[in-house]
Structure 1
C-alpha cells in the first residue's frame, strides 16, 4: 500500500517538473521573440502613430525597426557622433518626428536628409553642431530645434541669420528654428526649445534699438555739456560785474 501511494505522488511530482520546464522554455522563447520584435527599442503603436523610443541604447536593429515604420523616432542620449546612416539605408520615410538630442553630432550629411520625406519635427539640440547652414540639407518644411550647440543660438549669429535668409528664399514658410530664450528665469530655462528664432529682421531691429539708445546717450551728453557751458558763462558774467 505504501509503494502504491508513493507511485502516484512521484508521477505527479515529475509532471510538475515537466510543466515548469515547459513554462520556462516558453518564457525564454517569448523573451527572445519579444526582443526581436522590439528591435532593441521601446515600441508603441496607436492607430496611425507608431512611436519608437530608442533612447540610451547602443545596439539598435535598424533593419527590424524600419519594418515597424515608426512615425516618431527618438535616438536621444545614444552617444552618436553622426546621424546614423542606417536611417537612409533602410526605409524610414514614415518618420515625422526625429529626436537626436543629447548626443555629440558634429555635422549633418549633405544630401541624405531628403530621404526623410515626411519629416516635420527635427530635434538636434544639445549636440556639437558648428554650422547651422548644414540644416539646409532638410528640403521640406520642418520645425527644427537647435538649442545648445557650438554656435550661438540666437538671431545675432551670422550663420543662423544667413540660414533664415536662405530658408526664406527657398519659400519654406513653415520651417521654424527654435532656441532657448535668455530672458527666462531658471525654471523656464529648464524647459527646452521655448522660443522661436525665425525672424530675419530681428538682428536689424536689435541694431536699430542699439543705435537709438546710443543716440539718446549722445544727446544727453551734449545737453549736459551745453548746460555746463551756460552755467560757466553765467558764473563768469556774475563775477565780472
Structure 2
C-alpha cells in the first residue's frame, strides 16, 4: 500500500500565508498528520517574498516543532549561484552543487546555526531546486544531518551515510506501493490545485505519514535499485521534454 509524506517547500516569513492557511486548518483538524516543512533559515530570494512577512514566523516555527512536525533546513539563503543538476540531474540551478566541500559546509553551517538559535533545528535537509552533490551530502553528514528529502525510487536509501527519502511527484501519483513525498509550493498553487490536494489528503488521511516514519521504511535491495533506475530515467525524460516545449 502506498503511503504519503506531505512536503511544503519555501517556508519563510514572506510566503503566501493565505494559500498556506487551508493546509494549516487541515492539520489542526487532523493532529495525527505530521507534515514536512522546508524552512529557509535566512531567505534572500526575492521570488519567495509574495506576502507581507510574518513578524511571528519563528514563534510559529517553534509551535510546529512542538507539534512533532518535521522542519527541514531548506538551503541557507535560497540564492542560486551555481549551475544545477547535481546527483539527481533535475534542476538547472543550485545553491550548493559544484562548490568545494568546505564552502558547502560553511554555508550549510550558517543556516543550521540560525535554526538552532531559534530552537527548531532537526537533522533533515531539503535542497533548493532539488540540487545537491556528493560534497553536499558529505558536508551534511559532518554537520550532523541524517536525512534528505529527495531522491528516486519508491523507498528510502542511503548515500554517503545520509538517508534519501524519494520525492518524485507534485501530484498524488503512485504505483500502489512504496513511500511518496507530495511536493507542494503554496506560493504558486491555484485555488483548484489546493482544493484537489486537500480532497486527496482528506480521503487518504490514514495513509499520510510523517517524514521520520517515512525515512525508516526500506524495500528489498533489488526492488529498490530497479525502482530508482526506472523512475530516474522516466522523470529526467519528462523534465527534459518540458524544458524543450
Which structure features the higher share of helix residues? 1
Bigger RCO (CA 8 Å, 6+ sep): 2
Whether these two folds match at TM > 0.5 is: no
State the TM-score, normalizing by the size of structure 2: 0.29
Structure with bigger strand share is 2
